[in-house]
Amino acid sequence: MTKQYTTDSKPFLDTGLALVSNLPYRVTDMTEATNAFGRKEIDLALHEMPGLSSLRVEFGAAQPLAGAKIMGSLHMTIQTAVLIETLTYLGAEVRWVSCNIFSTQDHAATAVAVGPNGTVDAPAGVPVFAWKGETLAEYWWCTLLAVLWPEMNLILDDGGDATMLLHLGAELEEAGETADPADADSDEHRVVLQLLKMVREQMGDNVFRPLVAQVRGVSEETTTGVHRLVERLAAGTLRFPAINVNDSVTKSKFDNMYGCRHSLVDAIMRATDVMLSGKRALVLGFGDVGKGSVQSLRAQQAKVSITEIDPICALQACMQGIDVVRMDDVVSKFDVFVTATGNFNIITAAHMKRMKHNAIVCNIGHFDNEIDMAGLEAMVEAGELEKIEIKPQVHEWRFKNTTQGPNGGGHSIIILAEGRLVNLGCATGHPSFVMSASFTNQTLAQMELHANAESYGISVTTLSKKLDEKVARLHLDKFDVDLTVLSGEQASYIGVDQMGPFKPEAYRY
Ligand code: NAD
Ligand code: 3DD
């Protein structure tokens, strides 16, 4: 039973939402029509997610996640709904939020809250706190509500926001300090500090330490989240073991690459209807996501170049006939810009001042700081720039003092999803099949943590290659694949077991 928190606490900032409450869920639209739409799409998605459906068949009877209480912070999409209902099918209790203010598909959130056997009048699903178009204050209110779960013992994270909130809260309590919003270095950081300050004022100074102490481990979905975990591990501040799901080959070499290949142009087309053929497109960063993004744009016959810092990735681009350029040299000549670095300040306000009229700017990396949105907001404050909403998640930013616009006047640029990941802000993200591979890894990681977390110590590890190959096998049947089977002699000749693993740990696919 969830501990009864006070429900008369003051609202958090301008959300109108009591800081702590016993709300069983909060979604935008609890109606029959929305629930039916969500449920239908979940059913369709499951057919395209063979890895998850196979795990349900293989492990359903054994209930391997019985006793697991999983708090999830991952884009609340139809595909995530199938993941959630796989975790509960295997015995887990789950509470869920999205990890991005624009990525929730509201019909997915509604259907998850109602559940397969509930109704909108008597929801019997999973506590979910997510809706498309959350403010930052609402986003962090949702995340707090999901972690204020004393029984929580596992986390499933995407980008590390849930892990960060728990760690920061516990660190402040241990230091006997109250968060000071004046210490913030960004609008979002300020909201987090205001949240922590209000928790301290309304709930005391021993809220996060017990919660962290309960958490046995976290499985992390994405590159940037893994980077934050590795940073904490190196600093000696990580408080529970982590499984790095991103670096399962069947995650990052599929989701990050082929998922973005599908969903990048889907998002740009839905947002702008601009013809990409023949346009000059610049993808900044040529890692897994950048490679998929280049393929996505090239498939539309755009003329694609990249920027890179890494000579190996740059050489890979050259081998594919892709120009490697510097942003400063080309910014005034290109039509479309896509950041995919996981780094920050990749496209600055100064860059955007120099862009062509109506250049399209978007980010497919995890956080919005790849594009200097704060710098643009400052220019709006200073009266140098006007922000005009064309439609939700599509804005014209009109410069007042430039001359490359119509009739020598100010030019505009079109920024998608306010610099947040464009494929989930302006479209529905990756399709089900590729997310099935990612989420099969997530489910296996949660099962592993639930069974053996204490054996890991404080660490950041990946799943075994045997499990990675299992995930691949679970998806091959969709393609009528006939794998060749090694003979015993061949297996010993190349030094592998007949049924795998077929590659050494260091193999790069
Ligand atoms: P990656 O590390 O494989 O690739 C990032 C690349 O950017 C690297 O090659 C790096 O050398 C390069 N880079 C870093 N700083 C740069 C700079 N200043 N200029 C040019 N290049 C630079 O990471 P990835 O797996 O491709 O992920 C990239 C980002 O996308 C991460 O934030 C990740 O979390 C996110 N991601 C998003 C989605 C999505 O659906 N939108 C899916 C998976 C991952
Ligand atoms: N991501 C992309 N499409 C998604 C979808 N349809 N549902 C949930 C999450 C989705 C983001 C993932 O690629 C995540 O693994 C990441 O960001 O790495």
* pLDDT (tens digit per residue) in 231-272: 999 999 999 999 999 999 999 999 999 999 999 999 999 999
> 345 — phi, psi (to 5°)?
55, 40
pLDDT given at position 469: 98
> 12 — phi, psi (to 5°)?
-85, 115
- What atom in ligand 2 is closest to the CA of residue 432? 6
Whether 197 maps to a domain, the answer reads: yes
Can you tell me the mean pLDDT for 425-453?
Answer: 98
Whether 353 maps to a domain, the answer reads: yes
Whether 176 maps to a domain, the answer reads: yes
Whether 405 maps to a domain, the answer reads: yes
User: How far apart are the CA of 265 and the centre of ligand 1, in A?
Assistant: 17
Whether 459 maps to a domain, the answer reads: no
H helix or E strand, kind and range, residue 412: strand 412-416
Judged by average pLDDT, the poorest of 17-21, 233-237, 432-436, 468-472 is: 17-21
Whether 301 maps to a domain, the answer reads: yes
Claim to verify: residue 277 and residue 401 sit in the same structural domain: yes
Claim to verify: residue 140 and residue 279 sit in the same structural domain: no
pLDDT above 90 coverage of the chain, percent: 97
Q: Which of 410, 425, 440 is the last residue of a domain?
A: 425
pLDDT given at position 18: 92
Q: Grade residue 477 by pLDDT with cuts at 50, 70 and 90.
A: confident
Whether 342 maps to a domain, the answer reads: yes
Can you tell me the mean pLDDT for 466-484?
Answer: 96
pLDDT given at position 8: 63
Q: Is the pLDDT of residue 2 over 80?
A: no
pLDDT above 70 coverage of the chain, percent: 98
Q: Is the pLDDT of residue 5 over 50?
A: no
Q: Grade residue 3 by pLDDT with cuts at 50, 70 and 90.
A: very low
Contact call for residues 296 and 262 (beta carbons, < 8 A): yes
Q: At what angle do helices 432-452 and 465-476 cross, to 10 degrees?
A: 140
CA 418-360-428 angle, 5° bins: 55
When computed from its CA atoms, the radius of gyration of the chain, rounded to whole angstroms, is 23
Cα dihedral value 367, 129, 165, 285, nearest 10 = -10
- pTM score above 0.95: yes
Contact call for residues 244 and 251 (beta carbons, < 8 A): no
> What distance in Å separates the CA atoms of residue 351 and residue 357, rounded to the nearest whole number?
13
Q: Which of 69, 262, 353, 430 is catalytic?
A: 430
Structure token digits, residue 301: 């016959």
Q: Is the pLDDT of residue 460 over 70?
A: yes
H helix or E strand, kind and range, residue 203: helix 187-203
> 389 — phi, psi (to 5°)?
-80, 125
Claim to verify: residue 340 and residue 196 sit in the same structural domain: no
Three-state SS at 105: coil
State how far the alpha carbon of 486 is from the alpha carbons of 323, 490, 497, in Å.
41, 6, 9
* Annotation says 432 is catalytic: no
Q: Is the pLDDT of residue 298 over 70?
A: yes
Q: Classify strands 323-324 and 303-307 as parallel, antiparallel or unpaired.
A: parallel
> What distance in Å separates the CA atoms of residue 162 and residue 228, rounded to the nearest whole number?
12
Q: Which of 41, 85, 138, 158 is catalytic?
A: 158
Find the CATH number of the domain harbouring 331. 3.40.50.720
Query: Where do we find the tokens 């591990």?
Result: 233
pLDDT given at position 231: 98
Q: Which of 372, 406, 425 is the last residue of a domain?
A: 425
Please report the sign of the dihedral spanned by the C-alpha atoms of residue 351, residue 352, residue 356, residue 361. Answer: positive
Q: Classify strands 412-416 and 394-399 as parallel, antiparallel or unpaired.
A: antiparallel
Residue 298's domain comprises: 257-425
Can you tell me the mean pLDDT for 379-400?
Answer: 98
Query: Where do we find the tokens 């203010």?
Result: 101
User: How far apart are the CA of 221 and the centre of ligand 2, in A?
Assistant: 8
> 307 — phi, psi (to 5°)?
-115, 150
Q: Is the pLDDT of residue 1 over 70?
A: no
From the CB of 77, is ligand 2 less than 6 Å away?
Answer: yes
Whether 119 maps to a domain, the answer reads: yes
pLDDT given at position 209: 98
Q: Which of 103, 105, 432, 441 is catalytic?
A: 103
At 115-143, the pLDDT tens digits run 999 999 999 999 999 999 999 999 999 99
DSSP state of 67: T
Claim to verify: residue 193 and residue 275 sit in the same structural domain: no
Q: How many domains, the chain?
A: 2
Structure token digits, residue 441: 């890894």
From the CB of 39, is ligand 2 less than 6 Å away?
Answer: no
- What atom in ligand 2 is closest to the CA of residue 263? 3
Q: Grade residue 273 by pLDDT with cuts at 50, 70 and 90.
A: very high
Q: Cis before residue 501, ω within 30 degrees of 0?
A: yes
Query: Where do we find the tokens 């699903």?
Result: 125
Q: Is the pLDDT of residue 7 over 60?
A: no
pLDDT given at position 4: 46
Find the CATH number of the domain harbouring 185. 3.40.50.1480
Judged by average pLDDT, the poorest of 6-15, 50-59, 90-99 is: 6-15
> What distance in Å separates the CA atoms of residue 212 and residue 201, rounded to the nearest whole number?
19
Indicate the average pLDDT of the chain.
96
pLDDT given at position 20: 82
The ligand minimizing its distance to the Cα of 224 is 1
At 11-60, the pLDDT tens digits run 999 999 999 888 999 999 999 999 999 999 999 999 999 999 999 999 99
Contact call for residues 154 and 214 (beta carbons, < 8 A): no
> What distance in Å separates the CA atoms of residue 422 and residue 436, rounded to the nearest whole number?
21
From the CB of 313, is ligand 1 less than 6 Å away?
Answer: yes
Residue with CA at minimum distance from ligand 1 atom 8? 287
In 3D space, the residue among 273, 251, 284 whose CA is nearest the CA of residue 419 turns out to be 284
Claim to verify: residue 166 and residue 75 sit in the same structural domain: yes
